[in-house]
Structure 1
Amino acid sequence: MRAGLTVGEFSRVTHLSAKTLRHYHDVGLLEPADVDPATGYRYYSLDQVPPAQVIRRLRGLDMPVADVKAVLAAEAVADRNKLISAHLDRLETKLVEARAAVDDLRDLLRRAPGGPVIEHRSVPAQPAIGIRAVIDRADVLSWWQGALGELNGVIGAQHLRRTGPSGGLFDSDLYEHERGEAVVFVPVEAGLRPVGRVTAFVVPPAELAIAVHPGPLNDIDLTYGDLGTYAARHEIGVEGPLREYYLRDPIETSAEAEWRTEVGWPIFRSDAT
């Protein structure tokens, strides 16, 4: 009497290759119904066809093996659906991110040659309030938004007078080593009462090559690329933190397309007076 379906037969029934079935056996996802102790041949039962079909579809959606096991082990339909829905939500998020990446690439390919207008500017020291931290590059955007909101909250609460656009200083280590110091600041007149992370800060003077980056910050690397290329080509780049001035930021509008950011690259100016 046969012990069940052979690997080849079960493979044809389920459209799972012998290699895949062997892997699922090794990781404990779909173990054979019987293994011949003498030959090591594996056999599967017809009752294993439905779970194999479920596994094939879930793995086809890139669900991790551990999560597939949890789905198969769940006794209540509601529990299974909850696990599957959570994975589908993650897939939707990845899809949105992939679409954004595709749009960014298309914009890059359509980008007009020549790049933005670049100007040289001497920036004097400027009293400000700021928040300083050592952060991971992956956290820059969320940290920046939180710091900007906190600074503006203090300005409103203490009735401080702004004297210029908000800005940021970003150490080169953030880009080279993916962790470094960042400062978000808002120029104000004196009078701050330090609170929480917010302290008095003096924005250092600098000689900068500056270009305006329009719109969202997810592709601001293009403007940095233009400035870095310009500085290297003219052999005027110097060490120092990269600088941004937020002419129109999330505090003013939630419409990212309306944001305007000046990006400053530190340079040596032989014509500075």
Structure 2
Amino acid sequence: MLTIGEFSRISRVSAKTLRYYDQIGLLKPGFVSQDSGYRYYEVSQLRDMLLISRLKRYRFSLPEISAVLAARDNGRLAELLKAKKEEFLRQIENQRHLLLQMEQDIEKIERCENIMQANYLVKTVETQPKTIYSLRRKMSVRDFAEAFGALCAGLEKSRLKPAGPFLSVYHDEEFNHECTDIEVGVEVSGGSGEQVRTLALGLCCFATHIGPYDDFTPCYTALMEWIEREGYTVSGPPFELYVKGCDDNVPPSEYVTEIYFPIKK
């Protein structure tokens, strides 16, 4: 067996960290002396420590790693690694978008332009009433995927088919990342029930945003500036129409979203 010091030296993990892993049940010593309290590890546990260190580098949380060690299931581990890989790919794409945006900002600054001046073409449209199937709930921005998953499950159960892009309506006056009154929905042809309603917002101004979902603020700002400049006021909740998105197998930099504000003079 190896003392905690020897195990620490070989695995390149501090004794303090090993004691913490013992405390939370992630990696318990093979033997603890009742007389001295010293921890001893089996040589075979070095493989477990290697796996823990590898998964930590892959940004797995300690509870996730603990579940992997408990299951000892290579099939499940492969699934988790594939999911983490997809998460990394999304992060890489987001970083690429940020780099592109940074390069554009540098070019604007070098031309003595305001980097916060967004070039959005704002248009007005008399929107027609839509029959939508929707779910409305208080949720955080992290809950969008779950909400749209529930929406699609409800559509299938109700035997309804989408007749247009998915959308979100923001009913709160203020936006709170952790808890906002949001309605997710999609236009349908016919249907009935408490989750089917008519969305009628009348005259709207709108602009098209191309890029990831977490970068809508410049578009919202351009719309509000236009509304004030043209002498309109907001008359209803804004909504987002996801013309092209994650279901279209395109990178986030190519997502197309139309953002609408109901308006009146």
Confirm or deny a common fold (TM above 0.5): yes
In structure 1, give the amino acid aligned to 2:74.
N
- In structure 1, the residue matched to 2:223 is 227
- In structure 2, the residue matched to 1:265 is 261
Secondary structure of the corresponding residue to residue 222 of structure 2? helix
Q: Distance in 1 between matches of 2:135 and 2:96?
A: 32
Match runs of 1:156-195 below 5 Å: 170-173=169-172, 175-176=175-176, 177-182=179-184, 184-185=186-187, 194-195=191-192
Task: Give 1:50 deviation, angstroms.
Answer: 3.5
Task: Give 1:16 deviation, angstroms.
Answer: 1.4
Aligned pair 1:58/2:61, yes or no?
A: no
- In structure 2, the residue matched to 1:17 is 14
Q: 1:7 to 1:217 in 2, by over 3 A?
A: closer
Task: Give 1:14 deviation, angstroms.
Answer: 1.7
Choose 52-61 or 143-152, whichever is displaced more: 143-152
- In structure 1, the residue matched to 2:144 is 139
Under a length normalisation based on structure 2, what TM-score does the superposition of the two structures give?
0.66
- Please tell me whether the aligned partners of residues 123 and 207 of structure 2 are also in contact (alpha carbons under 8 angstroms): no
Q: Distance in 1 between matches of 2:134 and 2:68?
A: 45
- Please tell me whether the aligned partners of residues 207 and 260 of structure 2 are also in contact (alpha carbons under 8 angstroms): yes
Secondary structure of the corresponding residue to residue 58 of structure 1? helix
Task: Give 1:235 deviation, angstroms.
Answer: 8.2
Secondary structure of the corresponding residue to residue 32 of structure 1? coil
Q: Distance in 1 between matches of 2:44 and 2:249?
A: 55
- Please tell me whether the aligned partners of residues 3 and 41 of structure 2 are also in contact (alpha carbons under 8 angstroms): yes
Q: 1:63 to 1:127 in 2, by over 3 A?
A: closer
Q: Distance in 2 between matches of 1:215 and 1:198?
A: 30
Q: 1:56 to 1:222 in 2, by over 3 A?
A: same
Task: Give 1:152 deviation, angstroms.
Answer: 9.0
What's the % identity of the aligned pairs?
A: 26
Match runs of 1:75-114 below 5 Å: 80-109=73-102, 110=104, 113=115, 114=117
Structure 1, unpaired ranges of 5+:
156-164, 187-191
In structure 1, give the amino acid aligned to 2:200.
V
Q: Distance in 2 between matches of 1:200 and 1:71?
A: 45
Task: Give 1:58 deviation, angstroms.
Answer: 3.3
- Please tell me whether the aligned partners of residues 129 and 151 of structure 1 are also in contact (alpha carbons under 8 angstroms): no
In structure 2, give the amino acid aligned to 1:226.
A
Q: 1:197 to 1:184 in 2, by over 3 A?
A: farther
- Please tell me whether the aligned partners of residues 185 and 201 of structure 1 are also in contact (alpha carbons under 8 angstroms): no
Q: 1:237 to 1:44 in 2, by over 3 A?
A: same
Q: Distance in 1 between matches of 2:26 and 2:120?
A: 58
Q: Distance in 2 between matches of 1:172 and 1:91?
A: 34
Under a length normalisation based on structure 1, what TM-score does the superposition of the two structures give?
0.64
Match runs of 1:233-272 below 5 Å: 237-238=233-234, 240-244=236-240, 254=248, 261-269=257-265
Question: In the alignment, which of 92, 103, 124 is matched to residue 121 of structure 1?
Answer: 124
Q: Which one has the largest radius of gyration?
A: 1
Secondary structure of the corresponding residue to residue 37 of structure 2? coil
Q: Distance in 2 between matches of 1:80 and 1:168?
A: 39
RMSD: 4.4
